[in-house]
Amino acid sequence: MSSDNLVSLADRTPEERSAIASKGGVASGESKRNKKAIRELCSELLNSGLSDKDKDLADTLELGDVDGYNKGVLAFASCLNEAIKSGNARDLEKIFSMAGELEEDTSGSGDQAKALIYLPEMDEANGTESI
């Protein structure tokens, strides 16, 4: 696209500026409606009950009694399990951020967020925490 084809809004008539702004407002509204529909669908899916396959996954994650759990709880637990297994700090940071456990840094040091995360060392021989 050549800059020769571009016309500044300052060089347009008030009617043209109004028409352009109106089109932008309509497009913005449509985008917001689409995003809202996606959020509602995701919320509906995450709040739905667990299927038998989901319950098998909950057993694998050792979540115990899953009565009253929904797919959102299971998805969160699964993500947390994977992040702990991989030891990826960014994944853990995202999870703690979702859970509201991160504190915003106000010290001006440049760090975006800080969290105190305790991950006990596991005794690999029998799968229990070592102290």
The secondary structure of the chain, three-state, reads CCHHHCCCHHHCCHHHHHHHHHHHHHHHHHHHHHHHHHHHHHHHHHCCCCCHHHHHHHHHCCCCCCCCCCHHHHHHHHHHHHHHHHCCHHHHHHHHHHCCCCEECCCCCCCCEECCCCCCCEECCCCEECC
> Do residues 99 and 115 make contact, with C-beta atoms less than 8 angstroms apart?
no
pLDDT at 120: 57
Task: Please report, as a single letter, which amino acid is at residue 93.
Answer: E
Cα 80 to Cα 96: distance, rounded to the nearest angstrom: 9
pLDDT confidence of residue 39: 85
- CA within 13 Å, CB half, 131: 0
pLDDT of residue 102: 60
- Confidence (pLDDT) at 2: 65
How many CB atoms sit inside 10 A of residue 50's CB?
Answer: 18
Q: What does the pLDDT profile of the chain (131 residues) look like in tens digits?
A: 567 788 898 999 999 999 999 999 999 999 999 999 988 887 887 788 888 888 888 888 877 777 777 887 887 788 778 877 887 777 777 777 767 666 555 555 555 555 455 555 655 555 555 44
- Whole-angstrom CA distances from 19 to 11, 12, 26, 129 are 14, 11, 11, 66
